[in-house]
Chain A
Amino acid sequence: MLRITRLSARHEITRAMRARTFRLGLLLVSGLLVASFVLETQRLTVESRERDALTEHERTQWEQQPDRHPHRMAHYGLFVFRPPSPLGFFDAGVEPFTGNAVFLEPHRRNLPNFSAASQASELARFGRPTAAFVLQLLLPLLVFCATFDSVAGEREAGTLRLALAQGACTSGLLLGKLLGHVMLVTGWVVPGMTLAMVVHLASEALPTTTDNLLRVGVLALVYALYLAGCAALGVLVSALHRRAYGALITLLAVWLVCWVAVPRFASELAARTRPAPSRAQLELTIARATQGMDGGHGSDSPAAKALQDKLFAEHGVQRLEDLPVNVKGLLMQQAEDQTTALYDTHYGKLRAAQMAQNDFVQAFGVLSPPLALRTASMAVADSDLAAFETFLEQAEEYRTYFIAELNRLHTTKVRYEHDRATRVGREHFAAIRPFRHERRRLADTAPAMRQLAVAALAWLILLGWLAWRSLRGEEDRA
């Protein structure tokens, strides 16, 4: 059987390479892959350089502000920028659709704006030709074009019967054909990908860290398995058909439905059945909730009165001027805590709604292999929604920190009686630490990998069932 497997694998490679359409397709896809690497690397380099420059500019501006009242400085605010993921050249994930800059200010929490897609015409909706896009969507189609006649074609030509009559066993033959195609596709993708990654590592576009190397390794493995699965699907569907072109039509239909239609359909259905608030709705909710809140600027609210009484009792004084601290700064912080909690609640709801949508879509991964792969690929490339959320959380943490720092200055360095007229030295502002974005570690992508594993298992069962059916069918025929 081993010999048969080997023979039939070799035969399969020769057969596929002999087809002109396949060679042409291979050439086109390779060209597209190279173009995608070049274009995306270029984009990523420009973007990360721009954001570094903006981050630096922003910090310089902050440090160069004149002596000011701390609350003025809070309203001057800070912009923080999301550095693009270093593996974004391979899989840009949701990065083109998420904003890149967040303005941090007191009393309110902003969401990032200026995403690449929001500045584009509708052409942006046709997608970005990243390597991940080519590998997830186009390469399977090429694999199907190579595999559709592997068994059915031989059956049609009568060579299958001949081979079986000469004593070749069906399972060996099938396994050989499968191996041949797996070798064909991985033998071409893996070296190409390795080369691309090595170029990126060598040119320091991708920093050489253990984490990055591991990520590249995981990506290579996941994609190789995915393409092998596609090859298996192609061969098995071919084995179930009497005529090659019937197999082709089935495979094309499967590709259209599972690769093109299901991902879009699932996310639209998720958006309708698990609605998340739009900007208009969220703004309205927050406006309702913040109605009557003054951001701590007033001093006659019940909360302000309560705080004053508490301070008077603590320090044994009767007048605000006699307090060792500035009650206005404390009030400001108290109001800030309140609004922060409020925004946490509402953005938490928004996030939860979006997560519910994504989980719903993810369930369709069982129907659509690229959907399952996409999530894992983006997670490993650190360009998925969770990576973006990590940035948002860190930005919010930083906002809380720097506003609290400024309110502390307000409380301790500004006297109540001269509040508006006081200016605090700029060195105090420069002492506020700059924002630093910490990427997630590879281990944090475990949930995405688990989801992939579930979908992969479902597909493995399907492939196994197809294999069993085609083997049985062959025996029946023989």
Chain B
Amino acid sequence: MRKVRVLSKLELKQVLRARALPYTLLLLTVVGSAAVLMGSARVREERVALATREAFLAEQASHLVAAHKNDLGLLFYYLAMPTEHSPNAWTPLAAGLRDMHPYSQHLRMLGLTPQLYAGELSNPLKQLAGGFDYAFVVVFLLPLLVIGLGYDVRSRDRELGTDLLLRSQPTRVTYVVALRLMLRAGFVAALALGSFSAVALALALPLDLRIAWWMIALVGYLGFWTALVLLVSAWHRSSGWNATVLIGAWLALCVVLPALANATLMDAPTRSGIELTLSQREVMNAGWDRPKRLTMDPFLARHPEYRASQPPAEAFSWPWYYAMHEAADLHVAANVAAYDKALAAREQRTSALAMVLPPLALSRALTHFAGTDLNAHLAYKASVAQYHEALKRIMYPLLFGGASTADLQVEVLPRHHFAPEPKQPHWSELLSIWVQAAFVLMLGLLGAAYRGGWPGWRRLARRRGGR
């Protein structure tokens, strides 16, 4: 035990004495804080915008009521209710798809379909560059610290000429190497967990299980990279070779394979998206040229409660106008469902892919908690559709009952809020990080045992002419 303590102390000194370490840590701290600060600034902007919209609604309502005193239908035509996909406490950490889909939009009483697919107005060049948030720092940069600290864990002695010295010690080399790696991994893990705790305090993350799940995922992820370092060092090649191969692995897992998978597995449902908008608009517009009865009859069959108060058969009437919009939405309802299903299937495939790509799994864990992934967006869209329906349920009785503007109080209309707070992680993906870490660790240990001469392997190694 004492031996371990002495060795640990020595090795830790070695780690901490590396010349580049303070600079690297400083850089990482600056970069990480900048990412979190910019993330919270982004979310603050969103919150301000959301609050402003709510304030504007009252202004808009009083204006509309004054301007369209005797035309409730026209008031509804202009009324735009704000929707809200609220950020949660984790949102500053992972922007995810937040710059693709609007966090708030106008919702009018007209057809829903064309309103649902409005994109966010982000700068495309920024979208191309990718986000710079806590998720990026952890998923992309932290493994590099693991690599940077560990790539020469075995090869340094040979290159410094201390190899013989090391091997003449009463401690087995494998133990020393294992100890070194564990110290380095522990150092990075302590750093990652410590900085995350600071972030959690700074952002006042709610104390729920998400914090624990995230820490578990994070440690598994660092374990995966440490195991990979062990596997590569077990080859007993030069430090340069190790660094090259490890960077290559990082490049493959974090950059190239996801990009390739993106290009091959994701057939874009672009066409169907546009087509359902086109089709909705055909039906919508054809309504004007058809006898009004053809629009009203199916509508009244769906809503028999309004049968008693039928609008005029031939002249323009607001009930007919909104019925036409509803008919167009219903016409494409199946296509909309199919489109959403295609997107959900895409999300499923991404999840399957995350099972073999730890960086993707970790980044998904964070966007999931932050409510900025595709699932959250789909749920938001569904909630907007429900809200639209609820508003129509309020509007129809007023329109059919011939109510006047005075009967409508915009202040008491329900408001849309969507605030995802997922508490459970994606279990399989979380597990997959650990399984892969364990698998690579096993390979690494086998490799180290084979090349480094664990008792049972020695004879075999010698026979093969290895070291």
Q: Could you tell me which A residues sit within 8 Å of B by CB distance?
A: 21, 25, 32, 35-36, 39-40, 43, 47, 50, 54, 57-58, 61, 65-66, 68, 72, 75-77, 79, 93-94, 96-101, 103, 111-129, 133, 137-138, 141, 145, 148-149, 244-245, 248-249, 252, 256, 260-261, 263-272, 275-284, 287-288, 291-292, 350, 354, 357-358, 361, 385, 388, 420
Contacts and interface: CB of A to CB of B under 8 A. Distances in A.
Given A279-B105, A287-B106, A100 B126 contact: no
Contacts of B127: 94, 97, 117
Nearest to B241: A21
A470 B135 CA distance: 39
B53 A278 contact: no
B275 to A, nearest CB: 8
Contacts of A25: 248
B353 A122 contact: no
B246 to A, nearest CB: 10
Given A122-B374, A126-B258, A100 B106 contact: no
Contacts of B67: 292
Given A278-B46, A281-B49, A284-B53, A119 B343 contact: yes
Contacts of A39: 263-264
Contacts of B269: 119
A357 B121 CA distance: 14
Contacts of A75: 285
B390 interface: no
A256 B159 contact: no
Contacts of A291: 60, 63
13 contacts: A76-B281, A79-B277, A94-B127, A120-B346, A127-B258, A129-B256, A129-B260, A264-B132, A271-B122, A291-B63, A354-B125, A357-B125, A357-B126
A287 B60 contact: yes
A300 to B, nearest CB: 11
Contacts of B238: 245
Interface of B: 20, 31, 34-35, 38, 41-42, 45-46, 49-50, 52-53, 56, 60, 63, 67, 80, 82, 96-97, 100-106, 114, 117-133, 136, 140-141, 144, 159, 238-241, 243-245, 247-248, 251, 254-256, 258-266, 268-271, 273-274, 277-278, 281-282, 285, 288-289, 316, 343, 346-347, 349-350, 353, 360, 363-364, 367, 373-374
Given A98-B124, A264-B131, A114 B260 contact: no
A280 B104 contact: yes
Q: What 7 pairs between A and B have smallest CB-CB spacing?
A: A126-B258, A268-B132, A94-B124, A280-B104, A121-B350, A279-B102, A264-B132
B53 A280 contact: yes
B124 A119 contact: no
Contact of A32 (B41, B53, B256, B343): B256
A276 B123 CA distance: 8
Contacts of A40: 263
Contacts of A96: 128
A76 B374 contact: no
Contacts of B360: 123, 126
A35 B125 contact: no
Say whether chain B's binding surface is mostly helix, strand, loop, or mixed: helix
Given A122-B96, A128-B263, A292 B82 contact: no
Contact of A272 (B41, B82, B97, B128): B41
Nearest to B288: A72
Contacts of A43: 263
Contacts of A94: 124-125, 127-128
A110 to B, nearest CB: 8
B121 A278 contact: yes
A271 B243 contact: no
A172 B414 CA distance: 79
B117 A354 contact: no
Given A35-B260, A248-B240, A278-B102, A125 B38 contact: no
Contact of B102 (A57, A77, A115, A280): A280
A284 B103 contact: no
Given A116-B270, A267-B129, 7 more contacts: A103-B277, A248-B243, A261-B31, A264-B129, A265-B31, A287-B60, A354-B125
Q: Most chain-B Cβ atoms within 10 A of its Cβ — which of A25, A76, A103, A268?
A: A268
B49 A284 contact: yes
Scoring A248, A280, A388 by chain B CB atoms within 10 A of each residue's CB, the highest score goes to A280
Nearest to B118: A113
A21 B285 CA distance: 64
Nearest to A388: B124
A267 B125 contact: yes
A30 to B, nearest CB: 13
Nearest to A256: B144
Contacts of A126: 130, 254-255, 258-259, 262, 360
Contacts of A32: 256, 260
A128 B263 CA distance: 6
A277 B46 CA distance: 10
A100 B117 CA distance: 12
B123 A280 contact: no
B278 A79 contact: yes
Contacts of B46: 278, 280
Contacts of A120: 262, 266, 268, 346, 374
B251 A111 contact: no
B353 A265 contact: no
A148 B240 CA distance: 9
Given A76-B285, A245-B240, A358 B106 contact: no
A58 B244 CA distance: 53
A350 B353 CA distance: 37
Contact of B118 (A127, A129, A279, A281): A279
Identify which of B34, B277, B285 gathers the most chain A CB atoms within 10 Å of its CB.
B285
A284 B128 CA distance: 27
Most buried by B among A261, A269, A357: A261
Nearest to B126: A267
A295 B378 CA distance: 34
Nearest to B353: A123
A138 B132 contact: no
Contacts of B350: 121-123
Contact of A278 (B63, B103, B248, B288): B103
Contacts of A127: 130, 255, 258-259, 262
A389 B448 CA distance: 57
A129 B263 CA distance: 7
A65 to B, nearest CB: 8
Residue from A128, A256, A279 having most chain B Cβ neighbours under 10 A: A279
A368 B350 CA distance: 31
B49 A244 contact: no
Contacts of A261: 31, 132, 141
A116 B268 contact: yes
B243 A245 contact: yes
Nearest to A354: B123
Contacts of A65: 285
Contacts of B102: 278-280
Contacts of A248: 240, 243-244
Nearest to A358: B125
B38 A276 contact: no
Contacts of B259: 126-129, 133
A134 B268 CA distance: 22
A269 B38 CA distance: 7
Contact of A50 (B31, B124, B159, B270): B270
A118 B119 contact: yes
A126 B350 CA distance: 12
B31, B56, B125, B343: which has the most chain A beta carbons within 10 Å? B125
Contacts of A35: 260
Nearest to A79: B278
Given A279-B118, A280-B103, A122 B56 contact: no
Nearest to B35: A268
Contacts of B353: 123
B243 A265 contact: no
A171 B349 CA distance: 55
